[in-house]
Chains A and B, each alone.
Chain A
Amino acid sequence: MNKPLTEHIRSDGEAVSMEDYLKLGGYKSLSVISKMAPVDVTKLITDSGLMGRGGAGVSTGFKMSAVPMGEKAATPKYLICNADEMEPGTFKDRWLLEGNPHQLIEGMLVSAYAIEASVSYIFVRGEYKLAIQRLEKAVKEAYSKGFLGKGLEMHIHPSAGRYICGEETALMNALEGKRAIPRSKPPFPPAIGVWGKPTLINNVETLSNLPHILNNGIEWYKALSKGVNAGTKIYGVSGHVKKPGAWELPMGTTARELLEVHAGGMKDGYKFRALLPGGASTDFWLEDKLDTPMDFASTAKIGTRMGTGTMIVLDDKTCPVGMLLSLEKFFKQESCGWCTPCRDGLSWVAEILASFERGEGQEGDIAQLERHARLLGPGSTFCALAPGAASPLGTGLKYFRDEFLRHITEKRCPYADHLHR
């Protein structure tokens, strides 16, 4: 099986060194693009069908083509790698950052060439200390080898925290040294971005794909997939499964294959109850959706989202209400506080869920939660944080209603003993 992004990542936990990376054909895509016009690189990436791997699944080439080109375009143009991985249950970018930082740098060089960016930043999760260390080393090496510095500056910006920084417009404010409040769109970052200049922001996994597309062509890239969208995808499974982990697999691998084959099925003594397919801000899936190919188009077709592709498995011994509390407390805490529904609505949701776990849930609370799941959906808030929070809440209420009722009638969390709470 072809695993272009991860095949060279070492099993001993060390990063691929510059020396090894070059031996393995690293930075070869730079000679490919040197023979191409920037707009042709963008076109190639558009034609490859690469969709952004940050969770939203927007065509990468489409985003790139929105960057103004030519002499009239404002300069400098900025390229930002969004390495602020903080979606609960998501652990794919860490693997790429720690395992093969040069691949990312090469991908950024390709992207920067295509949009004629002269300055780039890697906006990396502040807690990813090892990744930061390895990125710093790799960037230094890339400078000394002359890959960086001639046309492109590259800086590493460790985030000062907050999930909202992963939202690309909030990220720009964070990078500018401001409060990380999302910006209204339009204008979109490719037109008016950081410091008022054209800015392209891409996820780590997205950018890591670029060298391979350039080296091997779009037919090869499309053939990697067995789903609707092209390429491979880094999937992961966490929870009480036999072999939790992350794997690079053909795009469109089914959830069932991930769960049963790659993760080895449920751990002994645990039964599958549901899963979140791609991080905290996706809908719960029950058994009936397990055969869905995990790609953007197939999940959209059944009215749901793949998100980051890293699944969180809920078993029969874990309290679904407690899990929702963990999720919603996270979203509440990470709300930037800009818009009312998110700021005050999520607090309310978290308060109610906490009261259930204390055994103080009331009959009317379920309706109140349902109302919030509806009201916090797309269209009512400033950014996608609250709609993300509404996804597991809405589906959780639908699938685990009996569990909520049990909390009310038993006046306690029925799973409290298991969790030692």
Chain B
Amino acid sequence: MPTIFIDNKPYDVQPGRNVLHVAVASGLNLPYFCWHPALGSAGACRQCAVQHFKDENDTQGRMVMSCMTPATEGARFSMEHPTAKSFRADIIEWMMTNHPHDCPVCDEGGECHLQDMTVMTGHNKRNYRFKKRTFKNQDLGPNINHEMNRCITCYRCVRYYRDVAGGEDLHSFSSSNKVYFGRFEDGALESEFSGNLVEVCPTGVFTDKTFRSYFSRKWDLQTAPSICQQCSLGCNISPGERLGTLRRIQNRFHPDINGYFLCDKGRFGHQFVNQKTQVPRAENIEPLTKSENLIGIGSPRASLEANYALRKLVGADNFYDGHSELEHKLLLKIIEILQQHPETASLEDVRNADAIFILGEDLTHTAPMLALSIRQNLYKRAQENAEKKGIPEWNDIAVRNAEPGLPQVVYLAHDTPTKLDTLVTHKISTELEEIQTWLPALKAAKNPVIIAGTSLGSEALIRMSIELRKMAPHSKLCYVLPAANSFGLALLKPKGSPKGKTAIVLENDLPAEILSRFENIIAIDFLENNTTQKATLALGCGSFAETTGSMVNNEGRAQRYYSVFERREQRPESWRILRDLAGFSWQNIDELCADLGKDFPIFEPFLKQVHNTSFRIDGQKIARQSQEFSGRTSMYTQISMHEQAPIQDPDSPLAYSMEGHHGDTPPDLASSYWRPGWNSVSALNTFSHATSGVKLKP
């Protein structure tokens, strides 16, 4: 591992990094704008200037941009050198000449990279005495707000939106000091990944419009580590809550899954949590009298714990799958395959594959982040090719100029147009004979990934995937499943074709045909739907945002999500409702999971690794609230003049409080990142990133 010196102190360097990346990852306060770990270096903002010395005897040095300078063995730099240091303040001063300084009314305030960098450089006095240039803003649709006057022209937005996400409707316009980032005309941004602009933009140009209608400052949001519920990929998210409503969702870094980004469905599709049409909260539940023909229908969107509780209540023979018949059959097949070939591909594996074979999935719809991972894959291939020409992988613009062509990596079998078609060099129909023609390419690839799934309802394609896998044993399989916990439910071995007299329907809206099979229906769900309307008894449970539970994603990775809500009238977890219906004695999730592990040893590795409720750091629970959280003494005065005691959380090592541990946590318990001086999402870059979750072996 090479060593470089910054202000005469040695730093270990992960090979192939630039000096800025090394400095930031080492916890040094070196300001920057246009660099981003997922975007690489552009050399545009000139903010990360440092002094570069020839050798130990060179005291004068030469100013360089650290983001454009490779960290080579023995190289010597200084952040403190007066030339570079004052230049960094000069850069901020230039950026600020046109910035409106409207932080008090800006949604970004308090989590603004520009604020942080301004403070970091020490620039604090305005010398520019002329008028600021102003821009007109655009209506970018319901999700993203546009405020161009705040722009400091770092080009991150277009580099993300166009280069990473493949969006074609955002660009830089004009030149000189009138560069404008926007669309040809007003209109909703077309990319499925537009929401990442909110986090990529270092200031308040692109902000979360859905957050505006019930805005809260970052430090007043309560957050907890959570898992996206919108598809089977299990992206890690950080929901933010205040005063009993879910306000927004931000990305939570996971190196093997979502990385730095989320899809718009995951980021913006959370409004249901605040819907008024909630099923009345289940309370004072009496145990059911045991009746004949009581069955339970599980749910791929309910937690593992809830499904297990239902199964335990009704008995293994009476536990049915909440998927459709067809999906049930396909899932059985997939589980059967994975029993023999448990090596599934993560999104990171997809990003690193040298060939990707997609069988009948329109990924942009069925698993959006998988589609983005394929775009990222193509860029990684370009980086590899450029590296052979001597261009380091972080030199983003140079990589793109050196590799203008499309790497021939993606093979797609699909019968209708998909949004990925432009990236695909070999598109064919889903005819099996045609797919056979892929074999030579599959065999020739070093680390190929085969993607299939349930969305077309084709068992033939799933069979085909295993045929291909057999021909190329080094390939990894990746199945796109119907819902967030499809895999988890399938592992509990539910039966198909539910029938009986009374059915407990867990978090599921079943077709009328199935509902008509039963005399009595007990529905447990969060929002009203057709099933709860038809039910004899409807019991309201909490949404994912106010409950704690586990899910198994499409690769078989079990992960836990944690409640972020402290509702004064807490809505119960489904498993607690089922516990009460059954008369079980579980007091918390640990007790339930102990039984789960006994009945299903497959979950043992996960249950051993997941942090149980007694986990503490320095004897403390981990605080869900920031140290600056405001209003604690007065925020519930409509209930009582007295300060409310924090609600106790029996199911996690997290506290609904600003008291508790702040700072470094195990990755699966981290929901927000902060370091002194780093209040924005960029704080993430000062942390190291271990993986989390446990891959199960069916």
Contact = CB atoms under 8 A, between A and B. Distances in A.
Complex contact flag A–B (Cβ < 8 Å): yes
Interface of B: 43-47, 49, 62-64, 68, 87, 90-91, 94-95, 97-98, 127-130, 152-153, 155, 172, 174-179, 389-391, 395, 397-398, 401-405
Contacts of B98: 344
B249 to A, nearest CB: 32
Interface stretch (A7-15, A190-198, A279-287): A190-198
Interface residues of A, number: 37
Contacts of A334: 176
Contacts of A303: none
A387 to B, nearest CB: 13
A84 to B, nearest CB: 16
A340 B47 contact: yes
Contact of B91 (A191, A195, A341): A341
Given A184-B43, A196-B403, A343-B179, A191 B94 contact: no
Given A337-B172, A340-B152, 16 more contacts: A184-B397, A186-B390, A187-B401, A192-B391, A340-B91, A340-B95, A343-B153, A343-B176, A344-B95, A348-B128, A355-B130, A362-B129, A380-B49, A380-B63, A380-B87, A381-B46
A304 B98 CA distance: 34
B127 A368 contact: yes
Contact of A375 (B44, B90, B153, B398): B90
A335 B153 contact: no
A179 B172 contact: yes
Nearest to B178: A337
A340 B44 contact: yes
A337 B397 contact: no
Interface string A261-280: 00000000000000000000
A127 interface: no
Interface of A: 162, 164, 179, 183-184, 186-187, 191-192, 195-196, 332-341, 343-348, 351, 355, 362, 364, 368, 375, 379-382
Given A187-B402, A196-B403, A340-B44, A335 B63 contact: no
A327 B556 CA distance: 65
B45 A192 contact: no
Given A192-B389, A339-B46, A379-B62, A184 B153 contact: no
Given A335-B176, A337-B153, A382-B43, A345 B49 contact: no
Nearest to A379: B63
Nearest to A355: B130
A351 B94 CA distance: 13
24 contacts: A184-B398, A187-B398, A187-B401, A192-B391, A196-B401, A196-B405, A332-B176, A332-B177, A335-B175, A336-B175, A337-B175, A339-B43, A340-B45, A340-B91, A340-B94, A341-B90, A344-B95, A344-B98, A346-B177, A347-B97, A347-B177, A348-B130, A364-B127, A379-B63
Given A196-B403, A343-B153, A382-B44, A191 B389 contact: yes
Contacts of B395: 184
A217 to B, nearest CB: 37
Given A184-B68, A340-B47, A347 B176 contact: yes
A186 B69 CA distance: 11
Nearest to B64: A379
Contacts of A351: 130
Contacts of B91: 340-341
Please indicate which of the listed interface residues B46, B64, B389 has the most CB atoms of chain A within 10 Å of its own CB.
B46
A35 B665 CA distance: 73
A345 B398 contact: no
Contacts of A335: 175-177
